[in-house]
Amino acid sequence: MKYPSKVDICSYGKSLIATSYLPIGIAVQKLEGPTCSWNLVPDEEICYAILIENNNWMIIQTDARYINHSCDPNCKIDNELRLITVRPVSKGEELTISYNTVNEGENPGFWDPRWSFNCCCGAKNCQGIIDKYISVDGNHWYPGIYEIHEEPSIAEEAEIINNL
């Protein structure tokens, strides 16, 4: 499927850009890629891994991997793992999601310190430092105890590496 977005170079690396005006509710990309347990995610792919369920992590391989964070995002991830606009987006505007917002009823698991960064989004509600999950209302989100128990087999490791 052709999506109304493209990868572009920006001052901080790569970003996902709208290729046309986009009203609310438009799918701009889809998250797709191999899945594995957390301990099998290669270090260089940590920033592109997203928890799908339980200890099943997807290493995003589509252009969706280049969507950047904003504290005032213009997109969200829907239940079909598509990036969907949540407000009108202008042609050429960077497409963004919130990396650390947790919706009611979700359990994103643990926060890996390697995901933390100084935010430069410039939004009025900018958090400054992204280093934890927050709830939709902006308060700190407190998870239950989450531990990774699964040890991969050699066959699982080989399959994940071959799928990258």
Q: Which helix (H) or strand (E) holds 52?
A: strand 49-53
* 123 pLDDT more than 70: yes
The dihedral over CA atoms of 90, 134, 136, 63, expressed in degrees to the nearest 10, equals 30
SS3 88: coil
Cα 152 to Cα 48, 54, 121, 132, 155: the distances in Å are 20, 15, 38, 27, 8
Taken in order 108, 48, 45, 40, is the CA torsion positive or negative? positive
At 163, is the pLDDT very low, low, confident or very high (cuts 50, 70, 90)?
low
> Is 26 in contact with 83 (CB distance < 8 Å)?
no
pLDDT digits (tens, 9 = 90+) for 58-68: 999 999 999 99
pLDDT at 81: 96
pLDDT at 160: 59
> What CA–CA distance (Å, rounded) separates 79 from 30?
11
> What CA–CA distance (Å, rounded) separates 40 from 124?
38
- In the chain, the domains with their CATH numbers are 5-156 (2.170.270.10)
